[in-house]
Structures are given as C-alpha cells and as structure tokens.
Amino acid sequence: MENIYANRMKNVPRSFIREILKVVDDPEIISFAGGLPNPDLFPVDEIKNAAVYQFDNHGKEILQYSSTEGYPPLREFIANRYMEKKDLNITQDDVLITHGSQQALDLLGKLFLNEDDFIAIEEPGYLGAIQALSVYTKNFKTVKLCQEGLDLEELEDVLEEFSPKLLYTVPNFQNPSGITYTNKNREKIADLLKRHNIYLIEDDPYGELRFEGEDSVSFKKLIPEQTILLGSFSKIVAPGFRLGWVVAPKDVLENLVTAKQGADLHSNYVGQRIIYQFVKENDLDKHIMNIKMRYGSQKNAMIDSIKKYFPKDVEYTNPQGGMFLWVTLPNNISALELIDKAIEKKVAFVPGDPFYIDKKNVNTLRLNYSCANEESIEEGIKRLASTIQELVI
C-alpha cells in the first residue's frame, strides 16, 4: 500500500523506554530505567479474594457489557476519597473510569485538539503524554519546570502568545523530575489560567505516594471549572487492570463519555468490580502506607548513595514522594552517550531526551527507585558513578 497512513501518525515518537526496557532484560543489569510499581507490594491474596467474591456472587453480571461511565459504586468511592483527602466537592457523576490515565490523555487529545491547536507542557514532560497527544497536534509549547513548579513568566508568555487549549501538568512528584509544585506556585498558575480559555490537565498518579513533607492543594480545588483531574489505580493497587479515571467539569465529562464509547465502549468491567471489592473489604490507606514506607526507604538509599559516589558537580532532585528522581550531569556529558557505557557496566536508566519536545543529546536522566531493593540501589549507583567518572575525565 502506498502513502496510505494518516498524517497524524508521522508526529508520534516511538517509545524510547520500550527500546531500553528490551535491552535491560539481562538479569545482571540493575535497572533504574523502568517506571513500574514494586510487585512485592501488590496485594495479591486480597485481590484474589475480591475476585472470588465477585465471581461467586455476581458472576453473570460482571462478565456482561456495562456502562461507558464505569461502575457507579467505584466512581462513588473515588469521589468520596477526593472529598475526604483533598476537600474536593465532587460526586460520582463527575467521574469517568478509563483504561488507565493513558487513555484519558488520548480521549482529551481527541476531544480538544485540532491539528493546528497548541498545547502547553512541562519541560521536562511525561513522555506518555507527549506520545498520546502528539497524535493530535505537533504544536507543543514547553514551560520550564523549576524547583517550585512551573516558570510563571514562561507560562504567561506561552498563554499570551499561543493560546494553548490545554496545559498538561504532573504537579505531584512529577514524572520524570520528581518535582512537586509549591502551593504558592499552584495558586499563581490558577490565577493566570483564570484569564484564559484553557483547561489544565492535573495528572496525579503519584499524589498519594507522599513519604515526606506536607500534602499540597489540588488544582481541582483552586480552579475546579478549568481543571481536568486524572487518577489511577496503577500505583496504589496494581497496573495490570489498566484502570484509572478522569474528574472533569460536566460538559467536558459528557463529551469524554461520547469519545470513550467510540474508543472501546467501556473499561473492562471484571477489573472494575474486582478493584471495587478490594477497596471495600480492605484498608486502602494502610496498603498505601506500606508502599510509601518502602519507596521512601528506597529513595533515601538512592540519595545516600548518590551523595557518597557521584562526582560533586552532578545535580539531582530529592523528591518527597512518587517513584523517580532526576539527575543533571555536567554540561559536556550527554546522557545518550552515558547509557551505552552504563549498560556495559550493567546499570540502566532513561536518558532525558524523550522527555523533551525539541532538545537532543541532553545532559539529564531519570532514575527510578521503586523497583530495586536497597542493596542493589547502592551497587547500581556505584556502577553509574564510575561510568560518569570515566566521561568526566
């Protein structure tokens, strides 16, 4: 077939991470490359019991087609949890269950973006969002991410000059940087956005995984009418169900339901019912506490090793939650060059490149600490440090 594909597919970057993950199948490699939750913390028995209960008591029902919006009691659980934890004034009617946050991104791109529309995104930004949204437009405008959150001057410039329809953010323990926006930064962003015809996407898969510091205010609290909040069971229960959700203003939600129906009718119902049963019968807060304690220890182990082994002119973030931290190498070192040598030394990470829209051969990289134990973290960081040393000299 000649020239038969749609133009939109030309913009889509191949997934960099997938390629790297293929390389790191070698069991001798200590990998900080993935973005996986730690499977040792999956509540396997509790989920099995939830599944058995549902099959025994509602088998025919959970195997049938269901509603596009999702299982009402599960949506109610999500709404109530936001009311309780984040003081949000929402109900189940504001919640749509999706096949992971990733699907929410695809639906939002479909719903909002003509090919000449602009979207604003953090720099560095989550590559899954770049991949999902680049199907719909190639007009990404980046706003620099600083220690406090978005660079407000850059944001204002982008808003004024390009009128983006969407601003994509991960305000808590951002992927890839681990940065959390301060409340003050959030308030200023909210004030700015109020003056524009724009929706803010608050992608928050890690928000509950705070192991240090104080909880932050949600954009959904600050500018509810302009915020589309995404959440996921992947990091607090398990990703194998591919279940997440969108909380959006009424009109947006109705349109998302139409888009979702065309995309896959509804999210897998068996999984929705099992997860509902799991959260009903178990103490989700206690389960999340276990995850946070583990990830917190592993993050501390990584920071301690970095302090001990990395050359002094390497910079890094020190996240208060989530799964990633971000390393900035001395200017003359390319992370792409480093990864090849690191893999030879049996350690892996994700070079910064796929997290940028239009920068190449950057000197930044992402390290994941959720999936390795403390000893292999020390050993891996030691290997990485010696690889960096060789390039510095």
| Region from 61-69, 82-90, 169-177, 180-188 binding a copy of itself, contact rule CB under 8 A | 61-69
- Helix, strand, or coil here: 194? helix
Q: Which residue has the tokens 């928000």?
A: 207
Question: Minimal distance in Å, beta carbon 213 to a copy of itself?
Answer: 28
Q: Which stretch binds a copy of itself (CB under 8 A): 82-90, 146-154, 208-216, 238-246?
A: 238-246
Structure tokens at 8: 């939109």
List 42, 162, 309, 356, residue binding a copy of itself (CB under 8 A): 42
Q: List the one residue out of 287, 298, 320, 285 whose CA is nearest residue 172.
A: 320
Q: Pattern 143-172, binding to a copy of itself, x per CB under 8 A? A: ----------------------x-------
Q: Tokens at residue 314, please?
A: 């390497």
**Strand ranges in the chain using DSSP code E only, listed in sequence order:** 30-31, 95-98, 119-123, 140-146, 149-150, 166-169, 199-203, 227-232, 244-247, 315-316, 324-328, 347-348, 350-351, 364-368
Report the residue from 70, 124, 128, 354 that binds a copy of itself according to the rule CB under 8 A: 128
User: Contacting a copy of itself (CB under 8 A), which of 29, 30, 51, 88?
Assistant: 51
Tokens found for residue 206: 């890690």
How many residues bind a copy of itself (CB under 8 A)? The answer is 81
Only segment of 32-40, 148-156, 182-190, 212-220 that touches a copy of itself (CB under 8 A): 32-40
The CA dihedral of 231, 234, 235, 240, to the nearest 10 degrees, is 180
Q: Which span sits near a copy of itself by CB under 8 A: 152-160, 231-239, 304-312, 325-333? A: 231-239
Min. distance of Cβ 246 from a copy of itself in angstroms?
13
Give the relative orientation of helices 374-392 and 335-344 as an angle to the nearest 10 degrees: 120
Contact 387, 338 (CB under 8 A): yes
Q: What is the C-alpha separation between 170 and 79, in angstroms, rounded?
A: 20
Residue 2 contacts a copy of itself per CB under 8 A? yes
CB of 195 to a copy of itself, least distance (A): 13
Kindly state whether residue 332 participates in binding a copy of itself, applying the rule CB under 8 A: no
Report how far residue 109's alpha carbon sits from residue 282's, in angstroms, rounded to the nearest whole number: 35
Q: In terms of Cα–Cα distance, which of 179, 191, 176 is closest to 146?
A: 179
Q: Within 254-283, which residues bind a copy of itself (CB under 8 A)?
A: 255, 258-259, 261-271, 274
| CA contacts within 13 A on the Cβ side of 43 | 26
The torsion angle over the Cα atoms of residues 23, 29, 33 and 35, rounded to 10 degrees, is 100
Least separation, in Å, of the C-beta of 244 and a copy of itself?
A: 9
3-state helix, strand, coil in the chain (%, to 5): 50, 15, 35
What is the footprint of a copy of itself within residues 363-392 (CB under 8 A)? none
- Mind giving me the DSSP string for 17-49? HHHHHHHTTSTTSEE-------GGG--HHHHHH
Cβ distance to a copy of itself smaller for residue 134 or 328:
134
Using the rule CB under 8 A, give the single segment among 62-70, 294-302, 322-330, 344-352 that binds a copy of itself.
62-70
Answer for which of 25, 27, 28, 114 binds a copy of itself (CB under 8 A) is: 114
By C-beta, is 276 or 316 nearer to a copy of itself? 276
* Least distance from a copy of itself to the Cβ atom of residue 249, Å: 8
360 contributes a contact to a copy of itself by CB under 8 A: no
Considering the complex, what minimum distance in angstroms separates the CB of residue 206 from a copy of itself? 15
Q: Which of 90, 97, 103, 201 binds a copy of itself (CB under 8 A)?
A: 103
- The residue within the footprint of a copy of itself, chosen from 89, 240, 281, 283 (CB under 8 A), is 240
Q: Determine which residue in the list 24, 113, 279, 329 makes contact with a copy of itself, applying CB under 8 A.
A: 113
